[in-house]
Structures are given as structure tokens and as C-alpha cells.
């Protein structure tokens, strides 16, 4: 039953149905959502890093499993991703805590730690950090060649990863450290070089003396090298 107040007079119309109010046509909850047994199979496939299309194909080939629609699957995976991987974005305060928790040099030479960082809390916050392991940093003691570049093939928080490494006499590449920065200025590369030099000295009592720099044509990298090592490097363009 409902009432209709007519706007051009004082009449009120009453509408009433004689049919019994039922929910028979609505169906049960299980008919609308994804059944639990299907969710378990989706989770297994999702843990294997399969794409939604591949997940649907796999479900369709399973006996006793009714595959959800593409929209249902996408909605389920949208909620599932934060549960498994956390939020896609990270707050600056969370990043600072993550950094502080990893600045202590571990006993395990294969455990990652942050050896240099700088966080700016301003109207437009920015940060830069570099991380490595003791076993990787020890490689610095036997080389004077440095490779460094920002690669967009590997990103974090939509920022390119700064990769620094070296090559041996057989031209085999050895990673030394990774960095992340909101910019790619001289100060960012200088922080990595300076932190690397300082940490190698404190850990292995070795004065880092790099001579060859393999990089692109960026002056920011070249100037950062000169500022830290006090000499103009032999530059090999890559």
C-alpha cells in the first residue's frame, strides 16, 4: 500500500494490492554470489599468478565447478588483491617505518637492509632510499666499474627502480644495490654513491675508488659521481 498526495488538490489517493507479499522470486544468496568451493579454486589459481582470462578457462575445464561471469570474477579479484598484497599505494609514514625497521645491519649477509635514505615531509613529499645486502656490498671491494640506470621495466609505486651494479672480466653483471626515488636528479644518484661508499668503508674498511661509469647521457649521474668520488670517470654510454 502507498499514498499519493495530488499536487493540484487536497485529494489523497490510496493504492493497495490484494496479493500476498512474497520473496519467492528473489532466490537464495548462493544463487547470486560465487559459491565457496568456486572461491577456493579461484584463490588457488590466483596464487599461481594467473590472469582473469586464464582463471576462467581453468574453471570451465573443472568438473563440478560453475565458472562465474567475467564481471563476478573481476569484482572478486578486486577485493582479493588487497587481502593478499596489501594496498596498492603506501603512505609516507608507513614508508618511513618500513625504512627505520630495516636500517640496522643484520648478521645474515644475505638479508636486505637500507643503507641510505632521505625523506622530505613537505607540501609535496618526496623520498629516496637505497638497499642491499652485505654479500652484495662486498663485491664493491674488488671492482672499479659501476653501472647505474633507472629502469621502467621494474617499478614500485609507479616509480622506476634505480639499479646499480658492476661487471667482471667475463662481462657478467653483478648487482650491488637497488634504489627508489621520487626524482632522478643529481641528489638522488649522489645519495646512492655516497651511501655505498660510506657503508663499504664501515663494513669492510675499504675505500671505494670507482673509475669507470657505465650509464646513459644523463649529467645528473655524471655530476653525482664526481661529487662523491672527486674524479671525472671514464664514461661508457649504454
pLDDT band at 104 (very low <50, low <70, confident <90, very high): very high
pLDDT single digits (tens) 152-168 = 788 887 788 999 999 99
Q: Other CB atoms closer than 10 Å to residue 188's CB: what's the count?
A: 24
List the domain boundaries for the chain.
Answer: 2-85, 92-237
pLDDT band at 19 (very low <50, low <70, confident <90, very high): low
pTM of the model: 0.64
* Termini Cα distance of the chain: 78
pLDDT of amino acid 88: 62
**Mean pLDDT, residues 205-232:** 93
Amino acid at each position: 500500500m502507498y499514498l499519493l498526495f495530488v499536487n493540484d488538490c487536497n485529494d489523497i489517493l490510496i493504492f493497495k494490492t490484494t496479493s500476498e507479499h512474497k520473496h519467492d522470486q528473489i532466490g537464495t544468496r548462493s544463487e547470486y554470489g560465487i559459491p565457496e568451493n568456486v572461491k577456493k579454486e579461484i584463490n588457488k589459481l590466483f596464487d599461481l599468478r594467473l590472469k582473469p582470462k586464464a582463471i576462467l578457462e581453468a574453471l570451465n575445464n573443472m568438473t563440478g565447478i560453475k565458472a562465474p561471469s567475467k564481471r563476478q570474477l573481476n569484482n572478486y579479484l578486486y577485493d582479493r588483491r588487497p587481502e593478499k598484497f596489501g594496498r596498492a599505494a603506501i603512505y609516507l609514514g608507513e614508508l618511513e617505518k618500513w625504512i627505520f625497521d630495516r636500517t640496522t645491519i643484520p648478521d645474515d649477509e644475505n638479508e636486505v637492509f637500507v643503507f641510505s635514505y632521505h625523506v622530505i615531509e613537505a607540501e609535496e613529499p618526496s623520498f629516496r632510499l637505497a638497499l642491499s645486502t652485505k654479500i652484495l656490498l662486498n663485491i664493491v671491494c674488488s671492482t672499479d666499474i659501476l653501472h647505474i640506470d633507472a629502469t621502467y621495466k621494474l617499478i614500485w609505486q609507479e616509480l622506476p627502480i634505480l639499479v646499480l651494479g658492476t661487471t667482471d672480466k667475463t662481462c657478467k653483471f653483478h648487482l650491488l644495490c637497488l634504489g627508489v626515488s621520487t626524482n632522478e636528479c643529481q641528489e638522488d644518484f649522489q645519495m646512492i654513491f655516497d651511501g655505498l661508499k660510506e657503508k663499504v668503508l664501515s663494513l669492510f674498511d675499504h675505500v671505494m675508488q670507482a673509475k669507470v661509469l657505465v650509464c646513459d647521457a644523463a649529467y645528473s649521474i655524471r655530476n653525482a659521481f664526481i661529487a662523491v668520488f672527486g674524479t671525472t670517470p671514464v664514461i661508457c654510454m649504454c
